[in-house]
Structure 1
Amino acid sequence: MLKKGLPSPYIMLVLAPLFWATSNVTGKLGKGWLTPYEMTFFRWFLATLILSFFARKFIRQDWAQLKQHWLWLFVVGGSGFALFNIILYSAFSLGASVVNVSIITALIPFGVICFSAFIYKDQPHILQWLGIAIAFMGVIWVLTQGQPWVLAQYNFAIGDALALVTTGIYIAYSLALRHAPKIHWASMMWAMSLAGLVVAAPFYAYDLAHNGLHFPDWRGWLMLLYIAVFISIISKLFYMESVIQIGANRAALAMNFLPVFGAVMGVLFFKDEVMSINHLIALGLVVIGIVCSEYGAALKRRPLPERAGAY
């Protein structure tokens, strides 16, 4: 069933991590073209510019609501859109490995469901906990190539610590969407993209002061356009609307698709990447985990049958 002209949240929760996975491809293809600050600033500049044109009707329509909720939009958009990207790009520049960062990112579903239980007193069904655990094992399986015991050998450096900060930011972002203002998705995306641009601007100014003015070539702009449309706007929109429609606990589980999709993208775009049985096993575990968790969520929502003769 379509809502607000968008696909089902379950379709969006598959497409969102699929688009996020292409971010690794663009990062590898565009290595050396842009600094982390340039990448963040220009992606939100283009996203804001695009939405300012296509969403202008809804921006005018929701202007009063946008002004009323400007602080929420600025904090959530600035942190979830700009700070997340800046810190993550900086983590890679400081030597964080893709494997370690992916493992840390896989903690997001655990964090969302745990903090929801603590802050909002949510009581997830036991099958939701089990589903999260199974999906997380799928992530660990593909990242360790079927040898989960090697996790004990990883040493987490400063770059990995920064990746842990981004995980905390996205957990908070997911939980904050519970309080999103009731406005059209297009005007909300515009406001949050603008917040991301405003937050990214001082970092870009710092980069200009130290490295001078630099504009990407046509390849860089083409990559930025793709990032702005599909990664910055569409994937963010899909995840945001899914959280609003079905809740952070259930939506965050889709983050487990990210490392698996990333491995598939590597095989498709780079000759040095190969598909193995471990990828198929991991994908199967993730799918089983999501089905298990969703079944538990359905059982939790189902009303208890009335007993005969009950008062």
Structure 2
Amino acid sequence: MTKHNAPERGTINLFDAIWSQAYLLLFLAPLSWAGNIVASKLAVGQVDPLVLSALRWLLALAILAWFALPHVRRDWAEIVRKWYWFALYGALGFASFNTLMYGAALFTTAVNISMEQAAIPVLVMIGNFLVFKVRATLMHIAGVALTIYGVLHVATHGDPTRILFLDVNIGDGMVIGACLCYTVYSLALKFRPAVHWLSFLFASAAFAALTAMIYITLFGAGVPAIARAFVSTPPSGWLIVLYVAIFPTIVAQLCYARGVELIGPNRASIFINLLPVLGAILSVLLVGEGLSLYHFVAAIFIIGGIVLSEYAARARQNRSLKPPV
């Protein structure tokens, strides 16, 4: 061993150091997803929501092709055999969720979009009970009720009675619709085909790109609008497109998958609850939005509900793991 080679072997690679830090990776994942919310607001006036969604998935596919195709080739038979699951994941969880969220940014604040997404884990809990008969404790139900009220408090801008008259901001309504899409996607993951996670991401993104093209044809200016975007989109708009194609689409998935590998899905799933908090913080810092009293009131209910729900879930898990006497 030469003196020249010794320091190189002893030097810690920065990527390897980060790659072994579960909590850091599980923080970077919701941070990237929160950035997607901010990007949707910054895109207003620069990139049409339907165009943004289409460009995101087309660009993401091109990037994923560099390192996902070897896994796709190995998993191709299973992908073809279970194509309908990937179609559902791509159409609902990827394209529909993000298209609705990008559209919502035209009508409501990024803070509202962030906080309303706290409904997703709660809706998934309800879906598990209704579809898969997963029983819930009283504490669990109380947590769900608190979180739902907090989300409704945000959606109605502090006046939940507006629900009775269907007087809800269209943007807030679109976010709730997006949450429902993601709930169905989350429940359907129970039937996820046994393929590598990169194969899963690539196949689902392919169907997301197809769905986004259908949406822009039916509800937008058509596929030619994508070509026009190459000329009309300013440099700042392209930075937004690059961000949403890389960070929430690929980096967040990479970080979360590695975090799950390091500490397990049950502990890792808690970090998803950081999304509403980080989204609200970034909305204030980067978009310059303000917080109203109803945001703070809603936050108390949302955080309290999530804490109760998670505590109930952990307590039940611990009881199920307790060895028989």
Aligned partner (choices 202, 221, 228) of residue 213 of structure 1? 228
RMSD across aligned positions (CA): 3.8
CA, structure 1 residues 218+97, in 2 after alignment: closer, same or farther (shift >3 Å)?
closer
* Alpha-carbon offset, residue 152 of structure 1: 3.3
Q: Within 5 Å, give how 1:67-106 maps onto structure 2.
A: 67-93=80-106, 95-96=107-108, 98=110, 101=113, 104-106=116-118
Deviates more, 1:265-274 or 1:28-37: 265-274
Aligned partner (choices 195, 201, 204) of residue 213 of structure 2? 201
Percent identity between matched residues is 31
* Alpha-carbon offset, residue 134 of structure 1: 5.1
Aligned partner (choices 282, 286, 294) of residue 269 of structure 1? 286
Conserved? CA contact 1:139–1:260, under 8 Å: no
* Alpha-carbon offset, residue 272 of structure 1: 5.5
Paired amino acid for 2:42: L
Answering whether residue 159 of structure 2 is matched by residue 150 of structure 1, we say yes
CA, structure 1 residues 287+126, in 2 after alignment: closer, same or farther (shift >3 Å)?
same
Normalising by structure 2, we get a TM-score of 0.73
CA, structure 1 residues 203+161, in 2 after alignment: closer, same or farther (shift >3 Å)?
same
| Alignment partner, residue 35 of structure 1 | 48
Conserved? CA contact 2:101–2:178, under 8 Å: yes
Aligned partner (choices 291, 296, 304) of residue 312 of structure 2? 296
* Alpha-carbon offset, residue 37 of structure 1: 1.4
Spell out, residue by residue over 1:145-172, the C-alpha distance to the aligned partner (whole angstroms, 9 max, x if none).
xx99533357214444433322221110
Conserved? CA contact 2:56–2:244, under 8 Å: yes
Conserved? CA contact 1:42–1:224, under 8 Å: yes
Aligned partner (choices 123, 128, 136) of residue 124 of structure 1? 136
Normalising by structure 1, we get a TM-score of 0.76
Spell out, residue by residue over 1:180-226, the C-alpha distance to the aligned partner (whole angstroms, 9 max, x if none).
11211111001111110111123334524686722123322222111
| Alignment partner, residue 306 of structure 1 | 324
* Alpha-carbon offset, residue 64 of structure 1: 1.5
Deviates more, 1:48-57 or 1:147-156: 147-156
CA, structure 1 residues 291+85, in 2 after alignment: closer, same or farther (shift >3 Å)?
closer
| Alignment partner, residue 8 of structure 2 | none
- Residue 62 of structure 1 aligns to a residue whose secondary structure is helix
CA, structure 1 residues 49+210, in 2 after alignment: closer, same or farther (shift >3 Å)?
closer
Separation in 2, partners of 1:305, 1:218: 60
CA, structure 1 residues 243+72, in 2 after alignment: closer, same or farther (shift >3 Å)?
farther
| Alignment partner, residue 123 of structure 2 | 111
Paired amino acid for 1:207: A
CA, structure 1 residues 163+283, in 2 after alignment: closer, same or farther (shift >3 Å)?
closer
Spell out, residue by residue over 1:107-150, the C-alpha distance to the aligned partner (whole angstroms, 9 max, x if none).
32332111211110101344433444455566678x59xx9953
Q: Within 5 Å, give how 1:170-185 maps onto structure 2.
A: 170-185=182-197
Separation in 2, partners of 1:285, 1:178: 29
| Alignment partner, residue 200 of structure 2 | 188
CA, structure 1 residues 34+129, in 2 after alignment: closer, same or farther (shift >3 Å)?
same
Conserved? CA contact 2:110–2:280, under 8 Å: no
Separation in 1, partners of 2:84, 2:259: 22
Answering whether residue 248 of structure 2 is matched by residue 231 of structure 1, we say yes
Conserved? CA contact 2:38–2:110, under 8 Å: no
| Alignment partner, residue 174 of structure 2 | 162
| Alignment partner, residue 26 of structure 1 | 39
CA, structure 1 residues 39+246, in 2 after alignment: closer, same or farther (shift >3 Å)?
same
CA, structure 1 residues 246+131, in 2 after alignment: closer, same or farther (shift >3 Å)?
farther
Number of paired residues? 293
Deviates more, 1:237-246 or 1:256-265: 237-246
Conserved? CA contact 1:127–1:292, under 8 Å: yes
Paired amino acid for 1:221: W
Paired amino acid for 1:176: A
Separation in 1, partners of 2:177, 2:86: 20
Which residues of structure 1 form unaligned runs of 5+?
Answer: none
* Alpha-carbon offset, residue 48 of structure 1: 0.7
* Alpha-carbon offset, residue 61 of structure 1: 1.8
CA, structure 1 residues 67+261, in 2 after alignment: closer, same or farther (shift >3 Å)?
same
Separation in 2, partners of 1:24, 1:186: 24
Which residues of structure 2 form unaligned runs of 5+?
Answer: 1-18
CA, structure 1 residues 92+25, in 2 after alignment: closer, same or farther (shift >3 Å)?
closer
